């Protein structure tokens, strides 16, 4: 291990302002959501937007500082390792976040729904829901008045399959971009990165049209019972992560165009790539467990 002096940044205003922004966002979102019920979320919306705007500015500023420091050669290899570890553990925390929702999906499929339908060790529960039959995907819920169920589910072999292909391909194109960067072939890096961004956007577009179909044609909504709930929470959070990943890719893309990164030092690029691959893997899990099985 080489131990050149470790860079300890000077005092920074970013964190505390970011905390305030986060607070505004949280408080605003809380007021907004609570207000929805009685149509009085105006102030909440303002706070939320102000907070989000501030947060956006801060992130830009904060990252600019980091990028400047990095470009200014302040970062030692040890620092680089810190970033790598940091990013890896962050992704691990994301894995656990999704794991929770997958756990929920398995629990309701394997245990809760069959119990309600009279199967398994707690099958007596069916006494409370006479006439309810367990099936998956759950289209007819125990209480159709409160949770009206869905007419149908998304056919995995159309859009979802296509989306799987798109995301898997995007992982490849991103790897191609990485290889190009390593041999300092800028134009090809830019080309492949651009392709990846495009694939991400197309994925999001398809996902959006799928949601429209779910709501308008299939009656598959958040309110349609546990199938809809697990479907939307899993695909929804995945979609948010794709959105974030695409944004990160766009930033990296712009940086590559501006001549940032060197063939042997480009952690920002790699971190984004790791994140993207992670988002991909989650999708494959989703495709199998949410759509196909």
Partner 1 sequence: MNTLTRTIEHTEQHGPAEGLSRWFFTTNHKDIGTLYLWFSFAMFLTGGCMALMIRAELFQPGLQLIEPGFFNQMTTMHGLIMVFGAVMPAFVGLANWMLPLMVGAPDMALPRMNNWSFWILPFAFAMMLSTLFMEGGGPNFGWTFYAPLSTTYAPPSVTFFIFAVHMMGISSIMGAINVVVTILNMRAPGMTMMKLPLFVWTWLITAFLLIAVMPVLAGVVTMMLMDIHFGTSFFNAAGGGDPVLFQHVFWFFGHPEVYIMILPAFGIVSEIIPTFARKRLFGYASMVYATASIAFLSFIVWAHHMFTVGIPLMGELFFMFATMLIAVPTGVKVFNWVATMFRGSMTFETPMLFALAFVVLFTIGGFSGLMLAIAPADFQYHDTYFVVAHFHYVLVPGAVFAIMAGVYYWLPKWTGHYYNETLGKVHFWISFIGVNLTFFPMHFIGLAGMPRRIPDYALQFADFNMVASVGAFIFGFSQLIFLVLVIKTIRGGDRAPAQVWEHPQGLEWTLPSPAPYHSFVEPPEVK
Partner 2 sequence: MRVAAQFLLLALASGASPAYADWQLNMPRGVTEISHAVFDLHMIIFWICVAIAVVVFGVMFWSIFHHRKSRGARAENFHENTLVEVIWTLVPFVILIGMAVPATATLVKMYDSSDAEVDIQVTGYQWKWRYQYLGEDIDFFSSLTTPREQINNEAPKDENYLLEVDNPLVIPAGKKVRFLVTAADVIHSWWVPAFAVKKDAIPGFINEAWTNVPEPGIYRGQCAELCGKDHGFMPIVVEVKPQAEYDQWLVDTRAAQAATAAAASQVLSMDELMAKGEQVYNTACAACHQTNGQGLGSVFPALKGSKIALGDIEAHIDIVVNGKAGTAMQAFKDQLSAVDLAAVITWERNAWGNNVGDKVDPATIQKLKEGTE
> CA-to-CA distance for 111 and 125, rounded, in angstroms?
12
Q: Does 179 bind partner 1 (CB under 8 A)?
A: no
Total residues interacting with partner 2, rule: CB under 8 A: 10
Q: Does 127 bind partner 2 (CB under 8 A)?
A: yes
> Cis link prior to 137 (omega < 30° from 0)?
yes
266: Cβ contacts below 8 Å, ≥ 6 apart: 181, 260
Stretch that binds partner 2, among 79-87, 114-122, 154-162, 237-245 (CB under 8 A): 114-122
Tokens representing 64 are: 């600019």
Give residues 242-261 in contact with partner 1 (rule: CB under 8 A). Answer: none
Interface map 117-156 toward partner 1 (x if CB under 8 A)? ---xxx--x--xx--------x--xxx--xx---------
Q: Does 122 bind partner 2 (CB under 8 A)?
A: yes
The three-state secondary structure class of 155 is coil
Tokens representing 70 are: 């990095």
Interface map 210-229 toward partner 1 (x if CB under 8 A)? -----------xxxxxxxxx
> Which C-beta is closer to partner 2: that of 114 or that of 268?
114
> Which C-beta is closer to partner 1: that of 14 or that of 206?
14
Q: Nearest-CA neighbor of 6 among 77, 68, 63? A: 77
E strand or H helix at 240, and its extent?
Answer: helix 226-257
> Which C-beta is closer to partner 1: that of 195 or that of 223?
223
Q: How far is CA 78 from the centre of its chain?
A: 29
DSSP state of 183: T
Report the residue from 75, 203, 232, 261 that binds partner 1 according to the rule CB under 8 A: 232
The three-state secondary structure class of 231 is helix
| 130 interacts with, out of partner 2, partner 1, none, CB within 5 to 8 A per kind | none
- Which residues lie near partner 2 (CB under 8 A)? 115-116, 122, 124-125, 127-129, 142, 146
């Amino acid at each position: 291990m080489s131990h050149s002096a470790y860079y300890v940044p000077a005092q920074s205003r970013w964190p505390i302002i970011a905390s305030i922004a986060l607070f505004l966002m949280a408080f605003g979102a809380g007021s907004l959501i609570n207000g929805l019920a009685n149509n009085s979320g105006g102030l909440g919306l303002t706070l939320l937007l102000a907070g989000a705007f501030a947060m956006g500015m801060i992130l830009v500023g904060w990252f600019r500082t980091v990028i400047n420091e990095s470009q200014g050669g302040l970062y030692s290899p040890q620092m680089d390792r810190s970033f790598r570890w940091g990013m890896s553990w962050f992704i691990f925390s994301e894995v656990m976040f999704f794991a929770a929702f997958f756990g929920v999906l398995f629990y309701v499929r394997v245990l809760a729904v069959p119990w309600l339908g009279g199967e398994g060790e707690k099958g007596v529960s069916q006494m409370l829901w006479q006439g309810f039959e367990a099936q998956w995907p759950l289209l007819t819920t125990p209480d159709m008045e409160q949770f009206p169920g869905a007419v149908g589910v998304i056919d995995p072999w159309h859009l979802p399959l296509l989306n799987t292909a798109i995301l898997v391909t995007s992982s490849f194109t991103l790897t191609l971009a990485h290889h190009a960067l390593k041999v300092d072939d800028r134009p090809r890096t830019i080309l492949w990165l651009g392709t990846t961004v495009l694939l991400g956007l197309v994925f999001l577009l398809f996902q959006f049209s799928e949601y429209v179909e779910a709501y308008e044609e299939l009656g598959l909504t958040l309110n349609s019972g546990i199938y809809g709930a697990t479907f939307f929470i899993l695909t929804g959070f995945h979609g948010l992560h794709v959105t974030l990943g695409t944004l990160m890719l766009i930033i990296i893309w712009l940086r590559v165009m501006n001549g940032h990164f060197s063939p042997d030092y480009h952690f920002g690029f790699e971190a984004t790539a790791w994140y993207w691959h992670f988002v991909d893997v989650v999708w494959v899990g989703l495709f199998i467990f949410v759509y196909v099985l």
